[in-house]
Amino acid sequence: MSTSSYTTPPAANPHPRLRPGRYGIAVAIAAVVVITLIASSLLNYVYLDTIPGRTSLYGLLAVALIALGTYIGVRAFTRDRASRRKHLIRAGVLLGLGTLLWLLVIDIFVFTQSAGPVVAAICALACLPTTAFGLFVVRRMDRNEKEPWRLVLVAAAWGAIVATSLVIWGETLWEQTAQRTLVPGPGLDASTAFSAGLLEELAKGLAVVLLFLVMRNDFDDVVDGIVYGAAVGLGFNFLESVAYMTNLYGIFAPEGIGWYAAGLQWYGRQGLGLFFGHTTYTAFIGAGLGIARQLPHKRQKAFAIVSGFVIAIAAHFSWDAWVQFFPIDNTLFGLVEIHLRTLIMTGPFTAALIALLIFGIRYEAIGLVDQFRKEAATGSGAILPEDVPVLASPWRRLKQRLRAFQRGGLRAYFEVARLQSAQLDLAMERWHRERQEIDMPLEAEDALRQRVIQLRHWVPAA
Amino acid sequence: MSSAPYDQVQTLYRTLLVFATVAVLILAVGLVEFVHFEPPGQTTGAKARIVGVFAYDPAKGTTLGTDRSAFARTEEFAAVVDWSGLPANLTVDARWYDAFGSMVGRIGPSTPAQLGNFSIVPVKVPQGLRHNLPGHYTFVVERLQGGVPVEVLGRRFVLVESS
């Protein structure tokens, strides 16, 4: 639900006097993240391999720019129309600079060492369409109320840039300590898998936690949690794919099979594993947060959040630790084995996630239909009784928009889409209020209702 | 008699808890696996003397030059172990691991006395490749118990440069 998306009339609650306590938690987490990044970068630079050390040191500026740009960008949507554009431009410039700087750092200090910037750019370009497709599909999963693109992209960007920066130091430190103290073999593999599962899922999960704390109006339930978590996972998977592809190209190019090695990585991570690996893992964290969002008791909320993290860590761990027990033959049958391995090892987790998603969508739909009916019964005019069956069905909503398109072209299509979206927002707001899981004032709901009525005047009879 | 309608979020919550229980079991199995291969209290105090890592001539089966910590990927190299300092009742072996964790060279397992004549442990180029893969290589001398390595008696790291 996004009261913050509508600023004509002004946002329902643009300058709340009293901010909920969760903002304090969010600030504390952000501060810990920033301090950890600074400390780890300095430690890495001084004590560890200079290449990742330099990456994280110089990458700090990029992370700071991304964080500041994200903050300004997200907050811009709660401002009035006059100042929103100015803030969006500022956010765009900062995000652009941060992204460019980060890519520069990655290219120069990591990939260029082994394969050169051209190879890194080609690998990144190869991963862009698949990751974009993944984000499109993930966002479409929320059939009733799609999340704003800006937040889905923010989640993916944080997964790609901030989360990867957070884990560089931890994993390097863990790996180097383990290699110096443990017996090589399954024990060391298990230790490395614990490191990856624990550190990477915590780093990715922080982004979802921050969205949960700060963007509560756009974080409604388990479905939203799965969408945001999956988006973070896709972002992380993007950068990891680029890193592995470039690295393997550098290793195998002298043998004449550099592109083959990079291509196999691309297929494994961006084709076969696009929705199975990181996407599934982090989506579980989002699912836990989404379920916690609607639970009445603090103890249950805490259990749900911890459960999401534990499932994500276990899923990630099981792949990293036990993938060696499914060796791939160097024959044609190896191609079948690659697919079977992914299906057997990660498939059950993805299936479990899909089960949560389907149940979540159905539960959300039941809640919304109930609120459509109740709002229609008030006679406010925001939702009419004849709107209810249309709003209840994604297909009927689409048909209504297509009819508008036939009558009045694209403009009419989007006007009807905005009206439907506003009606869904209103129903979602009502649902949360009825369940006593909202901290926005009642004025926010009234503003949404007025917004719907206003849109209804603009839209010709659907 | 009336009852409050059942909140379906509770179904989601319980399903999540079931998944979390399975997840905890998975992590517990991982922990058991770790303890099995890294059993605590397996310190004998014995230390293997790794004489060094040298360039290697596979035709003659001998090492060349001085002890080094970095090699070009086109160079062949081997570790040299002095088995004489180890207690005779131990079962030991020596292994090379490449940057991917694959074993790329091994001697043993056997007793130090029987391995006495096999002091050179070369790295083998993986099948189908012309040269060694670049990255950090690990050489370990291990003590085995029940066929499983349980203690590292000596360790060396070597960098194979990519160019």
SS3 B117: coil
CA gyration radius, chain A? 23
- Please give the structure tokens belonging to residue A350: 């993805």
> Could you tell me which residue, A459 or B1, shows the higher pLDDT?
A459
Quick check: B39 pLDDT over 90? no
Which residues in A lie closer than 8 A to residue B149 (C-beta atoms)?
Answer: 183-185
Give the residue with greater pLDDT, B118 vs A265.
A265
Q: Would you call B134 and A222 a contact, using CB atoms and an 8 Å cutoff?
A: no
| B131: three-class secondary structure by DSSP | coil
Q: Which residues of A touch B150 (CB under 8 A)?
A: 183
Containing domain of residue A396, as a range? 379-458
CA–CA separation, A265 and A408 (whole Å)? 47
Q: Do B12 and A314 touch (CB under 8 A)?
A: no
Has residue A110 been placed in a domain?
yes
Q: How many domains does chain A have?
A: 2
Position A222 in a domain: yes
Residue A17 has a pLDDT of 46
What's the pLDDT at B5?
A: 60
| Residue type, position A166, single letter | L
Half-sphere exposure of A253 (CA within 13 A, CB side): 12
For A223, nearest residue in chain B (alpha carbons): B12
Q: Residues A266, A267, A271, A277: is their CA dihedral positive or negative?
A: negative
Q: List Cα–Cα distances, A394 to A135, A375, A417, A450, B153, in angstroms.
A: 20, 19, 11, 24, 66
pTM: 0.84
CA-based nearest distance A2→chain B, Å: 22
Query: Is A369 domain-assigned?
Result: no
- Give the DSSP letter string of A56-89: HHHHHHHHHHHHHHHHHHHHHTTS-HHHHHHHHH
pLDDT in tens for each of the 462 residues of chain A? 444 443 344 444 444 444 567 777 887 887 787 777 677 666 666 665 555 555 556 667 777 787 788 878 777 776 676 677 788 888 888 877 777 676 656 555 555 566 777 888 899 899 999 999 999 999 999 888 888 898 899 899 888 877 887 787 788 888 888 988 899 988 899 999 999 999 999 999 998 998 898 888 888 899 999 999 999 999 999 989 988 898 899 888 888 888 999 999 999 999 999 999 999 999 999 999 999 999 989 999 999 999 999 999 999 999 998 887 887 877 888 888 889 999 999 999 999 999 999 999 999 999 999 999 999 999 888 899 999 999 999 999 999 999 999 988 998 999 999 999 999 999 998 998 888 887 777 787 888 898 898 888 766 554
Is residue A430 located within the same domain as residue A340?
Answer: no
CB nearest B73 (choices: A254, A288, A360): A254
Query: With the C-alpha atoms ordered B21, B27, B29, B32, is the resulting torsion angle positive or negative?
Result: negative
| Interface probe, candidates A248, A289, A307, A366, chain B, greatest B C-beta count within 10 A | A307
Is A392 in the same domain as A421?
A: yes
Domain co-membership, A286 together with A403: no
**Both A203 and A305 in a single domain?**
yes
Residues A139 and A217 in one domain: yes
Q: Cβ contact (<8 Å) for A300 and B134?
A: no
Same structural domain, A425 and A288: no
- A370: in domain: no
CA of A81, closest CA in chain B: separation in Å?
38
Q: Does B145 touch chain A (CB under 8 A)?
A: no
Under DSSP, is residue B101 helix (H, G, I), strand (E, B) or coil? coil
Window 56-115 of B: residues touching A by CB (8 A cutoff) are 73, 95, 97, 101
User: Rounded mean pLDDT of B32-60?
Assistant: 90
Which pLDDT score is estimated for A114?
65
Contact: A189, B157; criterion CB under 8 Å:
no
* CA gap B154, B140 in Å, rounded: 6
Distances (CA, A) of A132 to A91, A145, A270, B35: 21, 20, 11, 42
**What DSSP assignment string belongs to A410-430?**
HHHHHHHHHHHHHHHHHHHHH
Note whether A118 and A173 are same-domain residues.
yes
| Domain identity same for A387 and A350 | no
Per-domain boundaries in chain B: 49-161
Of the three residues A332, A363, A394, the one that is the final residue of a domain is A363
Residue A135: CA count within 13 A, CB half-sphere:
26
Q: Are residues A279 and A420 in the same domain?
A: no
Q: With an 8 Å Cβ cutoff, is B17 touching chain A?
A: yes
pLDDT of A24 reads: 78
State the pLDDT at residue B75.
93
Q: Do A187 and B151 touch (CB under 8 A)?
A: no
Output the pLDDT for position B10: 93
Answer whether residue A368 is part of any domain.
no
Do the domain assignments include residue A112?
Answer: yes
Could you tell me the two tokens for B159? Answer: 């960098």
In a shared domain, residues A262 and A163: yes
Helix (H) or strand (E) holding A362: helix A347-378
pLDDT at B139: 96
Nearest partner of A248 among A108, A114, A107, A124, judged by Cα: A114
Do A451 and A418 share a domain, yes or no?
Answer: yes
Domain B49-161 has CATH 2.60.40: yes
The answer to whether position A184 is within a domain reads yes
* Amino acid B57: pLDDT: 94
Instruction: Identify whether residues A32 and A126 lie together within a single domain.
Output: yes
Q: Six-digit token pair at A382?
A: 């925001």
Q: Point out the domain boundary residue: A320, A338, A363.
A: A363
Residue A131 lies in a domain: yes
Buried-state track A176-191, b at ≥16 Cβ within 10 A, e below 16: eebbeebbbbbbbbbb
Please tell me the predicted confidence (pLDDT) of residue A128: 95
CB-based contact (8 Å) between B32 and chain A?
A: no
CB contact under 8 A, B151 and A183: yes
